[in-house]
Structure 1
Amino acid sequence: MKAFFVALAIFATPFVAAHYTFPDFIVGSTVSSDWEYIRETANHYSNAPVTDVTSPEFRCYELDLENTPGETGTVTVSAGSTVGFKGNSAIYHPGYLDVMMSEASPAANSPEAGTAQTWFKVYEQTPTFANGQLTFPSTSQTQFTFTIPQSLPSGQYLVRAEQIALHVASTFGGAQFYIGCAQINVVDGGSGNPSPLVSIPGVYTGYEPGILINIYNLPANFTGYQAPGPAIWQG
């Protein structure tokens, strides 16, 4: 019996290690400490993903929906500057990665922020399709950066990183979502009008071709990966 449990532990270890969180926020060349500006997630120990796209936890996966926002700092960044997320390990699972932002009312550290139809996409990494196979650029990255749109109006925002792992996404509910929400205050902004706006949850049904997909057995008429969610706002 002891040998069975040892074998089980050895078998399970790679799957646990392959999960991840995004605890650190990057501003320029500076990396924050864990959960300094990113709301601590409920999976901060387990690294387990979210799979229910209809759950309130799908928004930011906070440890505590009411109290975690107020316990998290808000960092000031300039419009047009480079920011990003750093994981607690490499992004091992093949998938799609994107970043959405939401104007935060009444403030970035309030539980009400981001609960309406206020989210817009600013960045994505999509799989490429060639020679009958998908290639996933996000795999093995430990961090990624992107640019805050120059024309984004000044104010407080939530910044939501999302990696959709697709290695077991061939059945409904199989896609794994790894999420982190940073709290920021944008200065030196412009007069842009972010769009299209979506709600989270609400942005996905789980049946989108980019979420419900067998990446190891693509259909004969497959022409390329369809990114789920809204188009990117270029600012």
Structure 2
Amino acid sequence: MLHILAATLGLLAHRASAHGGAGNYTVGDTWYPGYDPYGPADQATAPWTVQRSWISNIPIFESNNISLACNFPGAPAQTSIPITAGENITAVYYSWVHTVGPMIAWMADCGGDCKTFDAAGAEWFKIGEKGLLDGTIEEGMWFQRAFVNWDGGGSLWPETVPSSLRPGKYLIRHEIISLHSANKPQWYPECAHLEVKGNGTGFPGKEYMASIPGVYSMDQPEINIDIYAPGVANQTTYKIPGPPVWKG
């Protein structure tokens, strides 16, 4: 039944993402609908809701904004996406237009039911990150540029839940940081609930963990950046801020 609902209700999220937001998620052949900030008001309490609510596709501009965790208001979802450690989860975006900046996938252990978990107090770890693939910071091929789908179809962002991760209830957070405006970074985060299954016993150590907000600062040159400035525009490397990716 959830599979049928997901395939149908996934259309709701199509128009929600014109400026920035994960519209749907897929695991294998199953689609799960994201929250549509411009859709029906009863989504937040709908039994199929797997994504935490967010009310606007306007970006977040402050590195210390409390909404940086799961966007505003970040109210918990009603259910979780079932996934086995080692499987891919794909976030589907529609009409994404920005092309410069990193994309980072994070997870956090809810320590129980994610419906009662405060994302602002979470300890997050990266499961994947994608940045500058080739060329220069200003004009090169970022994954964010390659990710854009100009024909109106979904832009797909797959990441793998580490195969050794211990089972449990988790948040997954997809974050795009757009750097096209000089010294004015734009954050686009969304969170969904996962129920991870499997036989793993692994979990990242402290060196992989970060607080959100807290991990970013306008003192960081990778965040407070003018990609058009001499000495920056032609650089061919970009260090994605935050801790290293935990691969299990």
Aligned equivalent of 1:206? 218
Task: For 1:130, give the aligned amino acid.
Answer: G
Note the C-alpha offset of 1:74: 1.1
- 1:124 counterpart = 2:132: no
Note the C-alpha offset of 1:126: 0.8
Distance 1:91 1:40, change over 3 A: farther
Distance 2:96 2:136 in 1: 26
Note the C-alpha offset of 1:179: 0.8
TM-score by structure 2 length? 0.76
1:17-48 deviation line (CA, Å, top 9, x unaligned): 962211312212322123231112121xxx21
Distance 2:52 2:230 in 1: 36
The SS at the match of 2:170 is strand
Distance 2:97 2:127 in 1: 20
Residue pairs, 1:137-152, within 5 angstroms:
137-139=143-145, 140-141=148-149, 142-152=155-165
Distance 1:131 1:38, change over 3 A: closer
Distance 2:91 2:62 in 1: 23
1:112-143 deviation line (CA, Å, top 9, x unaligned): 24614x21011111113536753212221512
Note the C-alpha offset of 1:165: 0.4
Task: For 1:214, give the aligned amino acid.
Answer: D
Contact 2:70–2:119 under 8 Å retained in 1: no
Note the C-alpha offset of 1:72: 3.2
Contact 1:108–1:158 under 8 Å retained in 2: yes
Aligned equivalent of 1:103? 109
1:188-215 deviation line (CA, Å, top 9, x unaligned): 0412121411111111113322212122
Aligned equivalent of 2:19? 19
TM-score by structure 1 length? 0.80
Gaps of 5+ in 1: 1-16
Distance 1:155 1:23 in 2: 24
- 1:215 counterpart = 2:215: no
More helix by share: 2
The SS at the match of 1:95 is coil
Contact 2:32–2:81 under 8 Å retained in 1: no
Contact 2:176–2:189 under 8 Å retained in 1: yes
Select the structure of larger CA radius of gyration. Answer: 1
Distance 1:155 1:134 in 2: 39
Match of 2:82 among 66, 76, 79: 76
Note the C-alpha offset of 1:149: 0.2
Aligned equivalent of 2:203? 193
Task: For 1:187, give the aligned amino acid.
Answer: K
Aligned equivalent of 1:153? 166
- 1:31 counterpart = 2:31: yes
The SS at the match of 1:57 is helix
Task: For 2:244, give the aligned amino acid.
Answer: A
Identity fraction in percent:
29
The SS at the match of 2:67 is helix
Match of 1:86 among 81, 86, 92: 92
Contact 1:81–1:148 under 8 Å retained in 2: yes
1:151-194 deviation line (CA, Å, top 9, x unaligned): 011001000000000000x22xx100111101001000412121
Distance 1:189 1:100, change over 3 A: farther
Contact 2:103–2:144 under 8 Å retained in 1: yes
The SS at the match of 1:138 is helix
Stretch deviating more after TM superposition (147-156 or 211-220):
211-220
